[in-house]
Structure 1
C-alpha cells in the first residue's frame, strides 16, 4: 500500500482562527462549537461542565473539542486566565460525504509544555501575516501540534486511563451494592497491580478510598434530607454494619452521622449586600435576620414584595448602613453568613465572632446557590432548584422568540449622576437576558459587568434597542435635555424599553423566577401593542 493511499483516509486540515487571549471573570452557558478547537491554558484556571460532569482546566492542560460539541458551562471565577485558542476545520477535496463528527470533549496534560508553547508562539506570529509562505508554515505547525496531541492521547490510553474511567462509572452506578473491589481489575482488562497504579495516577486515590468517598458524599445528602435513621442511610450507601459506617463517617468528616443530621436546624443570620435569604428560602431555611433596603423597596420591611410573605418573622437588617455585630449577637445565631457591605470598616470585629462564615462574591446566582448548599449540606436540593430555574428560562426563551428573533439590544441603568452600560458577561443581567432568554446584544458591546459614567459610550454606540433597568423615571426623563440622547436611533424610533423593574433581581432563585415572569409578560405585551 502506497503512502498516498494511506493518507487518503485522513482529511486535510485548515486553520480557521487563532487567538492568544487573557480572560477574567467570565461565565458562559450552552457553548457549541462548529469547528475543531484546540485550547491550551498557560496561566490561571477555569472550569467546565459536560454531561453534568465538571472538569478543571489549569495551566498545562489542553482542551480538545470536535464540531457540534456542546459545553453546558464554561467559567472562570478568578483570573486572569491566559490561553491559546486554535480553530481548524477539515478540508476534504473529494465529493464523498464525511461521517458525522463525534461529539467529544478531551482534556490532556501536555508532558512537553515548553516545546508545545514554542509552536503556539510561532503560530501566533505567523497567523498575523497574510503572505503565502507564512500560510504554509502555519499549516505545517498545525500538523506538528496535532502530532504531539496524538502522542499524548496514545500515552494516556497506554496508561489505561480509559479503562479506569469505565470502572469509575461502574462504581458510581453500583456503590449501593456490596461491591467487590477485586473484580474491578478484570473489568478494566488489567492485572491487579497495574490497575491500582493506573487508578491512583488517574484519581490520586486507591480504588477503596475512591469508593468510600463516593459513598460518604451520598450519605451526607441522605443524612441532611432523607429523614431516615443512620442505619437506613448506611444500608442505602452500601454498608450493612451501622457502627462501621459511623466510624468511617466520623474519620472522614470529623463528626458523627448523628451530629451531622442535627446541623440542618441552625439559626442563620445573613449579613450581605445581596438577598442571600432568597437562596436560603429556596432550600427551606428561613434566616432569623437578613438584609433589607427600606429606601429602595416600598414594603414595610424593605424586603422585595415577592419575599415579604416568606420572610415573616425574619428580622430586617438595614443594608443601607453599617450592621453592628453586637446587634447580631443578641439574636444568638448559630451561623452568620457575611459578605462585605460597602467595604465595611469593622471587618475585624466580625472575624472574632464564632460561627461567622465569610462569603465571597460570585459571577452568577448558581455559584451562590451551590456554595450555600455545600455549607448547609443541601446539595441535592440545590440541584433541583437549579433545574427548575433552567426549565423556566427555556420556556421563557421560547415564548420570547417573537421579540428576540430579530434586532440587537443594549442594557443600561440611569442614576442621578451617571449612566451605566451593562456588558455581555460577568453580571446576572447579562447572564439572564443575553445568555438565557435570547436577547441578542449589540455586537459592539464586548466588555464584562458594566461601564460606569458611560453616557458618551452609549451615544457613540447608537444602539438599536435599549432596556433601562433599576432607574427612576425622573432620571431617565432628565436625559431628554441632552440633544445627543434624543438623536440616538433607539430614542428616535421609540425603542427604549423601561418596565417597572425595581424588583427584578436575577441573583437568587425566587428573584430570578419573578424577573423571568414579569419580563416575559412585559415584552410580549409590547409586541402585541
Structure 2
C-alpha cells in the first residue's frame, strides 16, 4: 500500500483514488498508514512533496512555479503557503532565527503576512519588482539587484544596524585573505585556467566573472579565466556537452546537483566522462546549492575554503 502511494505522490489524486491504486478501501489505507507511518495517507503525500520540493529548490534551477507543477499543485499560492509551513533551515542557522517569521517564499511572498507584520523597512531584490507598488504601500523598500555584490549588501546592512565597524572588519579580513591566497594560487596555477560550470538538463552552463560566484574566483582570487568565457557581458553561457572541450580549462569547478535524489544527472555523468580527469585536466565537484546560493560572508568564505583545498590541497 505504501509503495503505491510513494509511486504516485506527484499526481494530483484524492484519497479514494490513492486507495484504488493501492487495491484497498479508504479505511484500510488509512489504518495501514497510521500503523506504519503514524500519518494519514494524504499527510504522507504532503510530506513526500515537501521533501522533494526542498531538494529541487536547493539543487536545481527550477522556479517555485515549475516545482509546484511537477509535484501536482495547480494553485501556486496554496503551494507557497504549504511549503513555507514545511520549510526548515540548517541546524547552524536555527539558533539565530527564533524571532523571525516565514513570509511566503522567495518568488511568492505572502503579502498579507508582510502587511500584518507592519515592518519599518522592506528589503528585497529586483525579482520582487512586480510587488513593488504594494510593498511600498506597507513600508519603505530597499531593492537590490539579484546579482548584487555581497560586500555592498553587508556594508549597507552595517549602516542600517549601527554595525558599520563590524561590517568593515569582515570585508577587510576577506580582502586580506583573498589577496594573500591569490598570490599562492598564481604560483601554483602558472597560467592554467579555471572554469566554473554547471550541468543542466541537456546543456552546460559556463559562468563568467560577471556572476556573483564567478567574481569570487576570477576577481577576488584572480584565477585565470578561460578565453572561452573572457567576455563578461553576461553572467553565463550555455553550450552543449559536446562543445565543453572548447572551454580548454585545466581545472573545472563543477556545480553538482548530486545531493538531489541521491544521485547525479545523466548530463553530469556525461560531463564527468568527457573531462575524464588526469594531470592536465582536473574536475572538482562542489555543491551547487552552496556555491550559487551564498549571499553573505559565511557562505562566500566557505567557497574560498573549498577553492583553497582543491587547488592547494589545504584541509
| Structure label with greater radius of gyration | 1
Match of 1:520 among 285, 304, 308: 308
Match of 2:126 among 340, 353, 364: 340
Report Cα offsets for 1:186-217 as digits up to 9, x if no partner.
xxxxxxxxxxxxxxxxxxxxxxxxxxxxxxxx
Structure 1, gaps ≥5 residues long? 1-292
Whole-angstrom CA distance in 2 between matches of 1:503 and 1:365: 15
1:88-237 → structure 2 map (5 Å cutoff): none
Q: CA deviation at 1:378?
A: 4.1
Match of 1:499 among 283, 286, 297: 286
Matched, 1:311 2:100: no
Report Cα offsets for 1:247-304 as digits up to 9, x if no partner.
xxxxxxxxxxxxxxxxxxxxxxxxxxxxxxxxxxxxxxxxxxxxxx944459x85445
Query: Does the CA-based 8 Å contact 1:414-1:475 persist in structure 2?
Result: no
Count of aligned residue pairs for this structure pair: 230
Report Cα offsets for 1:483-529 as digits up to 9, x if no partner.
xx85557689661221345323553112112222233234444x89x
Q: Larger helix proportion, structure 1 or 2?
A: 2
Aligned equivalent of 2:29? none
Aligned equivalent of 2:230? 446
Aligned equivalent of 2:136? 351
Query: Does the CA-based 8 Å contact 1:413-1:419 persist in structure 2?
Result: yes
Alignment TM-score, normalising by the size of structure 2: 0.59
1:326-337 → structure 2 map (5 Å cutoff): 326-337=112-123
Matched, 1:478 2:245: no
Tell me how large the CA RMSD over aligned residues is. Answer: 3.6
Matched, 1:372 2:157: yes
Whole-angstrom CA distance in 1 between matches of 2:92 and 2:222: 25
1:497 alignment partner, SS class: strand
Matched, 1:511 2:296: no
Report Cα offsets for 1:424-446 as digits up to 9, x if no partner.
x2222222112222422213321
Whole-angstrom CA distance in 2 between matches of 1:519 and 1:317: 35
Query: Does the CA-based 8 Å contact 1:399-1:520 persist in structure 2?
Result: no
Report Cα offsets for 1:408-463 as digits up to 9, x if no partner.
1111112224321111x222222211222242221332122433432365343343
Judged with a 3 Å threshold, the aligned counterparts in structure 2 of structure 1 residues 412 and 435 are, in CA distance, closer, same or farther, namely same
Whole-angstrom CA distance in 2 between matches of 1:395 and 1:445: 25
Report Cα offsets for 1:94-119 as digits up to 9, x if no partner.
xxxxxxxxxxxxxxxxxxxxxxxxxx
Whole-angstrom CA distance in 1 between matches of 2:236 and 2:93: 30
Q: CA deviation at 1:392?
A: 2.8
Whole-angstrom CA distance in 1 between matches of 2:92 and 2:179: 22
Whole-angstrom CA distance in 2 between matches of 1:403 and 1:388: 23
Query: Does the CA-based 8 Å contact 2:258-2:265 persist in structure 1?
Result: yes
Query: Does the CA-based 8 Å contact 2:195-2:249 persist in structure 1?
Result: yes
Aligned equivalent of 1:385? 170
Judged with a 3 Å threshold, the aligned counterparts in structure 2 of structure 1 residues 302 and 339 are, in CA distance, closer, same or farther, namely farther
